[in-house]
Amino acid sequence: MDVTISPGPVGGTVPAPPSKSYTHRAILAAGCGQRAVVADPLWSADTRATARAVEAFGGAVERRTDGALEIQGFEGTPAVPADVIDCANSGTTMRLVTAIAALADGTTVLTGDESLRSRPQGPLLDALSELGATARSTRGNGQAPLIVDGSMAGGTVSIPGDVSSQYVTALLVAGALTDAGIDLRLETELKSAPYVEVTRELLADFGVETRETADGFAVAGGQSYHPADDTYAVPGDFSSISYLLAAGAVAGGDASGATAGTGEGTLEITGARPSAQGDSAIVEHVAEFGAPVEWDRDDGTLTIDPAPLSGIEVSVADTPDLLPTLAVLGAVADGETSIVDAEHVRYKETDRIDAMASELAKLGVETTEERDSLTVHGDESTLTGATVDGHGDHRIVMALAVAALVADGETTIRGAEHVDVSFPDFFDAFESLGVVVDRHE
């Protein structure tokens, strides 16, 4: 599907979509237990992949009419899957499920789409093999398809921290179900550290204890998964909130004639309650750009008014998913915006540094791309409508949609259907805020 977006103002109230990160972990944690209900989940292409994996291991996932998921788990002992587990485009699914596969008393094969089959899994495979399983890439390059033979006993293992925090998450989730537990030592500084805190927060909610050590993390074995009252409620997703906040910061200004602080063009986001999500840093970043934003943490409400923006320097070492949003804000801001500590952003669904540089160029934005950074020259740029490509990446599509709101002329985004990965109702949300969206094949 392609979409064409007409420039114009935004305003109104919109709910935050549920967190993809928490939903993945909640589905798998419930699957590792006996029975649980996951309330307010994100039901998207990625999280459906995790649900299918739970079913492949012998669990059952039923979606109720209220959207909640009733999950019958495999009680800490995953069955050997009857077929290959297809993780589609979900890197989180593949990494977490690969570790769970190491607990099965037999062979599990995992694969995914072309993009997922190009992403690095080698350090996790090596770690699982050191812990008593056998895990390898069919092509010997550390990439899917993967073959995992259990069962993993646990123990002490070292793993790099600067490739993906999902390796740490995977070992903590599975380690609780081993006999010996896992003492995980980081060989390098941990990138995207808040995602590990998301994992530890959720595991605690399911009754699983973890601890931070002097050189990494540890989880005791022999534990079981059981949330209080058999129910876990998923919080709102700040990665997805970032696009809504950015839209409020840029599209209520010149396009609407609104004045900052007057309430004209104000955008309100509900369901934005505090959690361990690192991407909640977007609230601070938007304020640093110069947009007046208020966060009622108790009520979970964000409000943002339009304002002239000025470029900033920001690190995405712990918040890689924010780079596309920050790049668009930089394109609208006066001066330069430097997004640094970003090399790991190249190993997502696509190389997001290169993708944003190339697509923003089509819209008339000047950028400078380095291996670990992206500098956006807002003062040298004039956003002009064009046809751009989403690179099969939900976050690129949504960021470009924000840019389209303030471009001169219509913007067509190819491959817009990929928003289904994390924010299936994204374009519906945009329309509810007054955006003109034309969907077409």
Task: List the alpha helices (DSSP H) in 57-192.
Answer: 91-101, 122-130, 165-175
Name residue 327's amino acid: A
| DSSP H/E element including 337 | strand 336-340
Element of type H or E holding 50: helix 45-56
> Is 165 part of any known ligand binding site?
yes
- Is there a contact between 261 and 304 (Cβ–Cβ < 8 Å)? no
21 is in an annotated binding site: yes
Q: Which residue do the tokens 């997922």 mark?
A: 116
Strands 146-149 and 107-111: antiparallel
Q: What secondary structure letter does DSSP report for 177?
A: T
Element (H, E) at 2: strand 2-6
**Residue 157 per-residue DSSP state:** E
Strand, coil or helix: 41: coil
> Would you say 20 is a known binding-site residue?
yes
Residue 119 annotated in ligand binding: yes
Long-range contacts (CB closer than 8 Å, 24 or more residues apart) made by 24-27: 24/50, 24/90, 24/92, 24/93, 24/96, 25/96, 25/169, 25/173, 25/198, 25/199, 25/202, 25/203, 26/202, 26/232, 26/234, 27/51, 27/54, 27/61, 27/69, 27/71
Report whether 230 belongs to an annotated binding site. Answer: no
The answer on whether 185 is annotated among ligand-binding residues is no
**How far is 51 from 59, CA to CA, in rounded Å?**
9
User: Which tokens hold the place of 283?
Assistant: 């609230």
6 is in an annotated binding site: no
Number of neighbouring beta carbons within 10 Å of residue 257: 11
Query: Is 191 one of the annotated binding-site residues?
Result: no
Q: Could you say which of 86, 237, 321, 393 is catalytic? A: 321
* Residue 164 assigned ligand-binding role: yes
Number of Cβ within a 10 Å radius of residue 218: 18
Query: Is 348 labelled a binding residue?
Result: yes
**Phi, psi dihedral angles at 243 (to 5 degrees):** -70, -35
Tokens for 67, please give them: 């959207």
Active site residue 321: yes
d(CA 225, CA 301): 31
Residue 5: which residues within 8 A CB-CB, separation 6 or more?
A: 401, 404, 405, 410, 411, 412, 413, 430, 435, 436, 437, 438
What are the binding residues? Answer: 20-21, 25, 91, 119, 164-166, 192, 321, 348, 352, 395
- Active site positions, annotated: 321
What are the binding residues for 3-phosphoshikimate? Answer: 20-21, 25, 164-166, 192, 321, 348
What are the binding residues for phosphoenolpyruvate? Answer: 20, 91, 119, 166, 352, 395
